[in-house]
Structure 1
């Protein structure tokens, strides 16, 4: 027969139940905390790169590759078709005005020069001969003119006599008409001789002008050949360094072929290349920064080549300090062309995180945790990224690559 439990026993059973429920709750809480700890990722603090949010300017840029080249380079071409007789200076040697670099064989040009001089002398003799022939012709015509003038006077006198005889009845009217006809014929012959003399003078003037033009052209050709023969002693025209010279002794070069390059190493510019994707953003006069060994040099885009080669656009940057001590020929540089700028904005140092993320968020360091926050990125360059919202000055931002944690709300640091 069942008996009712005593009050002591009931109270003991109740306490045991409470303990069991409490123990179960503790175990459940520990399980939940342990599970959550398993879900929350962890990251070694040593692997993080961080930067502090600050206020300052940010300039948006596009990056290009550059090489330092002399600002002024003289291209020396062969003045004549000739054979390289002697190479006196090599690439890399410094030169002063008047220093001879190459010597070209001038034999062929010398022959052409002598031929032109002979032709000029022949034309000068021809000019003298023209004048002598004209003088002879004019003398003959002058003699004929004198004779015709005397005949005209004689015929005029005969006509007067015939008219007088006709008046007194000593001749016929036919004789008077014949005398008039003879006078007209003589006068016409006199005019023809006068015209012939004027024509001869005009012909001489035209021939002399033609010969004069020929002599002038030959004179200029002679001067040009003489100058080219002098230039065959290829000499430097100003101070500089030989950057290239055609040193194949005995080889033949044509007129206009490049035989040497002379650079002025007292000033430089930068030749840069960039993808044609950015061709529309390149404008002459735009600001640019050239970086050499962590030293920034200010400059402007001086010119952009109109052609695209293999998807590459070439442009030149004129430097403010063209003679900076770091500048060397053929030195590789980084070039940043400025597109836009903001003066007083929130910014953080650029890093791998901003190169690999497309989400509008950042990771902020708070104690032993990294918290994900929404943020809007603005303009950027190789050094800084603008943060338009989501952060405050002084906060520490993770800038290392966080591609594996993009969906984590929180990350523990260890």
Structure 2
């Protein structure tokens, strides 16, 4: 016959089960925490980049993008409107001074030149006619003046005769007065002819000057067109390399349109672009570092273009070693605009650990552990970051990204 289990015993058994369950849960939690602790705080050294703090200079800089361009590149334009008839050189060809690059169809300009020259010949013929006509008028007036001068002398003699006759009683006062009046009229007519000759000469001079100006203007047009025709055989003005040429045979180009570029590839400069947010820090004369692969070249800002396009400013860099062997036309390079220079500071190589903040946590390696410290950062560039605070030269810090460990005070470094 079954007996009823005492209530005290039942409660004792229930408490035992609760304790066992609680201990199991605690054990699981401890195991999980221990596993996470091992997982999170143990990091193989082989997966980390570690750098040594040292004393040195740090050049603070802002980064721009650049491209290598020839220091001297000449743009050759078409002097006339014409069609491209023949391409004599293509990009990459070496050319000498005065070597032809393109051949243009000059027929249209040649026709205009011949027309101008014919018009000039006609103008010269008309000029000769005008000159002869003006000279003829002057000569006719001079002849009339000469006749009038003879008449004046004759009337002077007649007046003298009448005055003599009057003095001996053989003449009259009326005859003397008439002779005086005739002489006065003749002298006035002579003076009038003299003025007409002067006016005719002045008119002739003005007319000839006007015609001369027209001929001079026409001569300038002819000479200019003649020079343009001579330049229509597109030639290189200096020895160099063809960097671009309009190769569209049959295409029409207008006067002033670029048709070719010839560059001297013995020296280069850098064409760089940067956000206009840094406009105040990019000024002529500013120091520049240009990085080509693993080679750094020094230079300075030569000029800054005033125009801003889509929030970007363009500037040119004058290099100290403008003929360095690493320079190649159209090669893309990194450009660093130096904004500050700090000598003899604590620095470490730049790496993913650096967030750009003025104060941040870093992990300092101490044997098999890495301890977190809060340090201040100063000047920085692509290569180095200045460190300030509780750090000394010779200490090592983790350069890798340690964002996931930032909540921990230390890391365990393993050799696996």
Q: Which runs of 5+ in 2 are unaligned?
A: 1-28
Q: Structure 1 residue 139: deviation in Å?
A: 2.0
Match of 1:320 in 2: 320
Gaps of 5+ in 1: 1-30
**Native 8 Å contact 2:357 2:377 kept in 1:** no
Evaluate the alpha carbon distance shift between residue 356 and residue 404 of structure 1 in structure 2; reply closer, same or farther with a 3 A threshold.
Answer: farther
Partner secondary structure for residue 306 of structure 1: coil
Superposition pairs for residues 237-386 of structure 1, below 5 Å? 237-355=237-355, 357=357, 359-386=359-386
1:384 to partner: Cα distance: 0.6
Query: Could you tell me whether the CA contact under 8 Å between 2:363 and 2:373 is conserved in 1?
Result: yes
- The yes-or-no answer on 1:70 pairing with 2:35 is no
State the shift of 1:164 in Å. Answer: 4.3
The corresponding residue for 1:146 is: 146
Distance 1:328 1:280 in 2: 30
Partner of 1:17: none
Closer, same or farther: CA 150–346 of 1 in aligned 2, 3 Å? same
SS of the aligned residue for 1:220 comes to helix
SS at match of 2:110: helix
Pick which of 290-299 and 349-358 moved more. 349-358
2:229 matches 1:191: no
RMSD of aligned alpha carbons: 2.4
C-alpha contact 1:357 1:403 (8 A) present in aligned 2: no
Structure-1 separation of matches of 2:294 and 2:403: 29
Q: Is 1:103 aligned to residue 103 of structure 2?
A: yes
After TM superposition, the score normalised by the length of structure 1 is 0.86
d(CA) in 2 for partners of 1:234, 1:333: 34
Deviations 1:135-171 (A, max 9, x none): 3222211110111111212222333344445555655
Matched position secondary structure for 1:279: helix
2:132 maps to what in 1?
Answer: 132
Stretch deviating more after TM superposition (76-85 or 217-226): 217-226
Superposed, 1:138-217 pairs within 5 Å as 138-167=138-167, 173-217=173-217
For 1:72 and 1:311, locate their aligned partners in 2 and report how far apart those are by CA, in whole Å: 28
Mean Cα deviation higher: 353-362 or 137-146: 353-362
- Measured in 2, the distance between the counterparts of 1:215 and 1:38 equals 100
SS at match of 1:303: strand
Moved more, 328-337 or 370-379: 370-379
More off after superposition, 34-43 vs 310-319: 34-43
Shift of the 36–366 alpha-carbon distance from structure 1 to 2, 3 Å rule, reads farther
**CA shift at 1:309, angstroms?**
1.2
Structure 2 CA distance for partners of 1:171 and 1:57, relative to 1, 3 Å: same
Give the paired residue count. 383
- Distance in 2 separating the partners of 1:100 and 1:397: 64
